[in-house]
Chains A and B, each alone.
Chain A
């Protein structure tokens, strides 16, 4: 069975600083995809970044980047130059083979001005 674990229920960072959110996962497949979704107070689920497991290069989207360690089954999200609008719940998620996303429990990120 697939599992996704986010060990940090809450994180906080000063505005303009860098923060890293952790995620570990377990899967028996070699072909899978990893995602970070953001859920702001509006409750909308917004895709932040995705990573294909077969790609060694870490995905990057503007201020968001990942550190994908396949052997360690680790997939952390780094947010650079944190902004007030980054405050949200962040969910790590995994898809392997079947269509469903398996989500972690989430990390609540607070940005301190």
Chain B
């Protein structure tokens, strides 16, 4: 158990809908990262937050947004869902923002299926 929690574990929804994925980082970790794992794109970085502020952005679609709250939990919002958004979404956390000097610990993921 990495100490990172993600809810829900599974999510099934329809095209055009909006969903929210939730992540709680390890105790004491200030950085949260979101990754998407799909069959065709592999594992891709989406976005990073540090202590409530956006720090880095990857290949995140405009239909997707995220935020980190004062209690440090984070939410990833996916809207106008398409079939291709079906994937495993991981949240990871680390202590600070020192890049590779820190280990990123991954949550169990949320499996999203868009029908």
**Chain A interface (Cβ within 8 Å of chain B)?**
32-33, 35, 37, 42-47, 50, 52, 91, 95-106
Contact = CB atoms under 8 A, between A and B. Distances in A.
| Majority secondary structure, B binding face | strand
Contact of B108 (A42, A91, A95, A103): A42
A92 B97 CA distance: 21
A100 B58 contact: yes
A99 B88 contact: no
24 contacts: A33-B101, A37-B106, A42-B108, A43-B88, A43-B108, A44-B108, A45-B106, A45-B109, A47-B103, A95-B100, A97-B99, A98-B56, A99-B33, A99-B55, A99-B56, A99-B99, A100-B33, A100-B48, A101-B43, A101-B45, A101-B92, A102-B45, A103-B42, A104-B42
A99 B31 contact: yes
A100 B90 contact: no
A47 B90 CA distance: 14
Contacts, number: 61
Q: What are the nearest 7 A-B pairs in CB distance?
A: A33-B100, A95-B100, A100-B45, A45-B106, A103-B43, A99-B56, A99-B48
Given A44-B2, A45-B106, A96-B99, 12 more contacts: A32-B100, A35-B100, A44-B108, A91-B43, A96-B100, A98-B99, A99-B31, A99-B55, A100-B58, A101-B43, A103-B44, A106-B43
A54 B37 CA distance: 30
Interface residues of B, number: 26
Nearest to A94: B100
Given A45-B106, A47-B105, A33 B99 contact: yes
A26 to B, nearest CB: 16
A47 B45 CA distance: 17
A97 B55 CA distance: 12
Interface in B18-49: 31, 33, 35, 42-45, 48
B55 to A, nearest CB: 6
Contacts of B35: 101
